[in-house]
Structure 1
Amino acid sequence: MEKTTSLSSKKHYPILDGLRGVAAIMVVAFHIFETHTTSRLDQIINHGYLAVDFFFLLSGFVISYAYDDRWSKMSVADFFKIRLARLQPMVVMGMIIGALCFYFQDSALWPMIHEVPIWKTLLVMLIGFTLIPLSPSMDIRGWQEMHPLNGPGWSLFFEYIGNILYALFVRKFSNTALAILVFLSGCLLIHLAVFGPKGDVIGGWTLNYEHLHIGFSRLLFPFFGGLLLHRIVKLTTIKNGFFWTSLLTIVVLAMPRIGGKEHLWMNGLYDSLCIIIVFPLIVFLGASGEVTGKTSTKICKFLGDISYPIYITHYPLIYIYTGWVRGSKPSSQEALPFGLLTLIGSIVLAYVCLKLYDEPVRLWLKQKILTYKLAFIPVK
């Protein structure tokens, strides 16, 4: 395989960028509706949680594409610097926003907030900067999150684990060895989803055995499956790829709960089929498609640009919305404008963070810290 380091030598996948943004917005909508549900059985946009697994698969595909042919000119330390420069600035910003929202929030749902001393909030924030998971004993919110100021940090914790495993070991695997790893990871995923006690793959955000089991089960197949997909797939040409893949992504994530509480395994089977078959198909179609029109190009770029910022900064706003809903118990009509405000506010906040903070900081890091000068740092 030809070794390349210039931007012009690497084809870009704008549809994959756009799909990441579509999935990120679906996550925000999922969390907004989650506030109004009584259980995971009646959740609207029921399978929005699968967006995390979709992100893992996209990451694996993009990392294989961006780095597999660069290791003769790049060290493991270089790779870690590049990934830290890409991901870590927004991790820090997400924790800062989470700490501010936590400190100023007034909610009957979390009366203990005002009993938490400032020093402990700051300590949790500083630890959050590193993504080192907190034990339940350090939880200051009461939801048993390993990152109680910004819950979605758990998925970035596992994202980093996937990156570490790739750089240290898996990048050296032959396609056969990688296929075996992916197969075994798929079996682990199916065992969790189909034969597990809840009939889904929801979880991963608490530092205990149950959630670590869920987190690793959710990470291993899609992340390394994405690597394998890039290595073995032969792309074709798909017309209107962004429209069809976006539609398929939305339908998959919005699908109502399947099987009910009487047949939990049916929903677990749905989760498994989505992660193992549908998501790789979507990524394949997205990578095969082309964006030609100016409007479509701008939409995909915008969605790709805000995808990571919106994912890592929206949840502090969800905490506020959740506290208001649980405390005030508004009707659907009363809650609608505030739900829309939360969604729009999440997008605006993400864009502001992107332009005023993330892009300038990443540019500075690339110029001052990175010793391996890539022509670009892949998105996610």
Structure 2
Amino acid sequence: MQPAPLPTKPHYPILDGLRGVAALTVVAFHLCEAHATSHFDQVINHGYLAVDFFFLLSGFVIGYAYDDRWGNMTVGSFFKRRLVRLQPMVVLGMLIGAGFFYFQESALFPLIGQTPVWKMLLVMLIGCFMVPVPPSLDVRGWHETYPLNGPGWSLFFEYVANVLYATVVRRFSTVALGILVVLSAGALLHLGLTSPQGDVIGGWSLESEQLHIGFARMMYPFFAGLLLFRLARLRAVRHAFWWCSLAVVAVLAMPRIGSPAHLWQNGLYDALCIIFVFPGIIFFGASGAVLPGAAQRLCRFLGDISYPIYITHYPLIYTYTAWVAAHKVPLRAGLPVAALVYLAAVALAYACLKLYDEPVREWLRKKVLSDRGETALHRVKSQA
């Protein structure tokens, strides 16, 4: 017997837009990172915090989309829906990474010249199944769990968060969830204050230190987002999209805090932004509304490309970073090429969305999901 189709829910267009704003800022951050000599001269210095913003936003939207549906939905059905939402672009991101792999300068990535095609294809195949590769299969030299498409590490932790939510945490009372969030906040604050590099950057390797960073960066924001959904009493906020977008960009573009002698100050900034500022932004974003017209179309466009651009842009970044390193290109001289790469990343993401992601997900919804009549999550899950 098939479960009943799930009822339609309105979605949060401003949260769509904010996800896109953060994703576009990440691309600029990574392009500027290619020219940085250290964390202290990095332009758009805190762009890495977009990952934590995504986790918090995801927790909020997962709670909104699924918390009240468990009477009509099994854990297996939940996982199917999440796979349909996330996995097609994971596969395409790995394929794009494989396509760019041998076009990147071996001066920066010496392992590329030593990597036979069969090994690269093996790493690609493993990555398509979202299985992190051990250091012994590193084909780039950066110790990444997904060396063909580095941002895959955060999708791995997104899957982990989804598993924890569906199997355990969804049953937590508000008090129990609050205790988990407080403990996770303490772990995140400890990471920020004690990090030897003075920030929360990391999570992309199977090494124990990196796994600690990855779990600390996932546990608090994802489950804080879930708690925020359960507790929030939204109220009308005027011009919320513009104010929240400005806040997101301001947090991510903030220059480095403190000096090399006081690394903990920047780590404290990271932790406080994740623990307090990001929940506030999401609260006000969820409280706002956009009128039909240009702002609504902008939010929809930003939301639509946010995930494709995040999961496909990094092969371009590898290539650009290798070019910068090989030719010692300063930021000012590299800006025209960086602008072209930025535009190419947006165009690639949009093409992937329209020509691949949307058609494949529509086909999978019809073929894989047990309640075939369900189209109600189409807009809700685009945020999650």
Bin of the TM-score, shorter chain as denominator length: over 0.9
Matched to 1:6, the amino acid is P
Alignment partner, residue 203 of structure 1: 202
Identity of aligned residues (%): 62
Q: Which runs of 5+ in 1 are unaligned?
A: none
Mapping for residues 1-380 of structure 1, pairs under 5 Å: 5-7=6-8, 10-373=9-372, 374=374, 375-377=376-378, 378-379=381-382, 380=384
Describe the SS at the equivalent of 1:341.
Answer: helix
Matched to 2:75, the amino acid is V
Contact 1:107/1:324 (<8 A) preserved: no
Contact 1:91/1:129 (<8 A) preserved: yes
Q: Which runs of 5+ in 2 are unaligned?
A: none
Aligned partners of 1:319 and 1:157: how far apart in 2?
A: 20
Aligned partners of 1:126 and 1:206: how far apart in 2?
A: 18
Contact 1:28/1:343 (<8 A) preserved: yes
Contact 2:103/2:319 (<8 A) preserved: no
Matched to 1:142, the amino acid is G
TM-fit CA distance, 1:5 = 2.5
Describe the SS at the equivalent of 1:222.
Answer: helix
Aligned partners of 1:89 and 1:4: how far apart in 2?
A: 23
TM-fit CA distance, 1:130 = 1.1
TM-fit CA distance, 1:41 = 1.7
Describe the SS at the equivalent of 1:137.
Answer: helix
Matched to 1:353, the amino acid is C
Aligned partners of 1:331 and 1:213: how far apart in 2?
A: 34
TM-fit CA distance, 1:4 = 8.8
TM-fit CA distance, 1:342 = 1.1
Contact 2:105/2:326 (<8 A) preserved: no
Describe the SS at the equivalent of 1:184.
Answer: helix
Contact 1:310/1:346 (<8 A) preserved: yes
Contact 1:74/1:372 (<8 A) preserved: no
Aligned partners of 2:180 and 2:36: how far apart in 1?
A: 37
Contact 2:65/2:377 (<8 A) preserved: no
User: Normalised by the size of structure 2, how large is the TM-score?
Assistant: 0.96
Contact 2:110/2:140 (<8 A) preserved: no
Q: How big is each residue's C-alpha offset from its partner over 1:150-184, in whole Å with a ceiling of 9 and x where there is no partner?
A: 00000000000000000000000000000000000
TM-fit CA distance, 1:39 = 1.1
Contact 1:205/1:215 (<8 A) preserved: yes
Describe the SS at the equivalent of 2:377.
Answer: coil
Describe the SS at the equivalent of 1:120.
Answer: helix
Contact 1:4/1:69 (<8 A) preserved: no
Matched to 1:67, the amino acid is Y
Number of aligned residues: 376
Describe the SS at the equivalent of 1:104.
Answer: coil
Aligned partners of 2:72 and 2:97: how far apart in 1?
A: 39
Aligned partners of 2:331 and 2:64: how far apart in 1?
A: 45
1:322–1:20 Cα change, 3 Å: same
Q: How big is each residue's C-alpha offset from its partner over 1:49-93, in whole Å with a ceiling of 9 and x where there is no partner?
A: 000000000000000000000000000000000000000000000
Aligned partners of 2:167 and 2:320: how far apart in 1?
A: 41
Describe the SS at the equivalent of 1:99.
Answer: helix
TM-fit CA distance, 1:103 = 2.6
Matched to 2:69, the amino acid is R
Q: How big is each residue's C-alpha offset from its partner over 1:115-153, in whole Å with a ceiling of 9 and x where there is no partner?
A: 211110100000000111111111000011010000000
Aligned partners of 1:61 and 1:197: how far apart in 2?
A: 31
Matched to 1:5, the amino acid is L
1:104–1:331 Cα change, 3 Å: closer
Aligned partners of 2:218 and 2:47: how far apart in 1?
A: 16
Describe the SS at the equivalent of 1:338.
Answer: helix
Matched to 2:196, the amino acid is P
TM-fit CA distance, 1:262 = 1.1
Contact 1:238/1:285 (<8 A) preserved: yes
Describe the SS at the equivalent of 1:262.
Answer: helix
Contact 2:26/2:47 (<8 A) preserved: yes
